[in-house]
Amino acid sequence: MTPSEQADGRSPNRPRPVLDALSRAYWEGAGRGELAIQRCEECGHYQHPPRPLCERCASADFGYPAVSGRGVVHSFTTNHQRNVAGFEQAVPYVNLIVELEEQPQLYLLSDLPAGESDWVASGAPVEVVFEPIEAAEGEAIALPQFRPAGG
C-alpha cells in the first residue's frame, strides 16, 4: 500500500485500549515516546504483555524501563479479511511479531505505520516508532509500531 492510499481514508479507526493497573505504564510510556516493558526487579526478566507475577521467578515486584525499541521480525502476516471493526478500509494490512533485542523470545505484536510494507520479512531488523492514539477514557497515549532499522 502506498502513503497516498493511506491518506485516502485507509488508516484504521482502531479499537481503543482500556488501560488497567498492569498496562498503564506501557501505554503512558508509549505516549512519551518510550517502549516501557515490564521487567522483574528480582530476576531481571522482561515479559510482555504485563502479567501479575514474573513468569520466571513469581516475583510481584516490577519496573517498566524504556527498552531500545530495536529488534527483528520473528514472523508476520498480511491480513485480507475485513474482520476487525475500524480496519475494514485498511485491508490488506500487515501484523508482525517483533523479537526485541533485550531478551530472546521477548515478543511484541504490532502493525506498520502508514506507508510501504514491502520490506517486511522474517529476520528483518526493525526499530519502534509511535502513532498517537486515544485510550478508552480519552487519555493521550501512543501505539508502538515498527519500521526498518535506520530507515
Partner 1 sequence: MWAGRGKTAVVGIGFSQLTRTHERPLGQLAIEACRAAIADAGIEPSRIDGLATHPDQPFRGAGNRAGEDLVPAAFLIDHLDIGPEVEWYAQVSAGLIPSAIIEALNALMAGACTYALVWRAMHRPAGTYGAWREPFAGGDSQFTAPHGYTSPFQLHAVAYQRYMHRYGATREEMASLVTNSRANAQLNEAAFFNGTPMSIDDYLAARMISEPICLFDCDIPVEGCAALVLTTAERARDLPRPPAYVAAWGQHTAPRPTYVNYMLDDYMACGASTAGKLWSRSGLGPGDVDAAQLYDGFSPSTYYWLEAAGFCPEGEAHAFVQDGRIALGGELPVNTFGGSLSEGRLHGMGHIAEAARQVSGRAGPRQVEGAEVSVALDGSPLLRGGGLLFTREA
| Contact residues: partner 1, CB under 8 A | 12, 14-20, 23, 27, 48-49, 51, 55, 74-87, 90, 93, 95, 97, 105, 107, 109-111, 122, 133, 136, 143
- State the minimum distance, in angstroms, from the CB of residue 105 to partner 1: 8
Which of these, 37, 41, 103, 32, lies nearest to 64 by C-alpha position?
37
Instruction: Say if residues 11 and 111 touch (Cβ distance below 8 Å).
Output: no
Nearer to partner 1, 12 or 125 (CB): 12
Q: How far is CA 104 from CA 7, 49, 101, 141, in A?
A: 37, 15, 7, 27
Instruction: Say if residues 136 and 17 touch (Cβ distance below 8 Å).
Output: yes
- State the minimum distance, in angstroms, from the CB of residue 85 to partner 1: 5
Taken as a whole, the chain contains a residue count of: 151
Nearer to partner 1, 136 or 140 (CB): 136
- State the minimum distance, in angstroms, from the CB of residue 48 to partner 1: 8
Distance in angstroms (rounded) separating the CA atoms of residues 135 and 9: 21
- State the minimum distance, in angstroms, from the CB of residue 44 to partner 1: 19
Nearer to partner 1, 31 or 110 (CB): 110
* DSSP structure class, residue 51: -
Nearer to partner 1, 14 or 70 (CB): 14
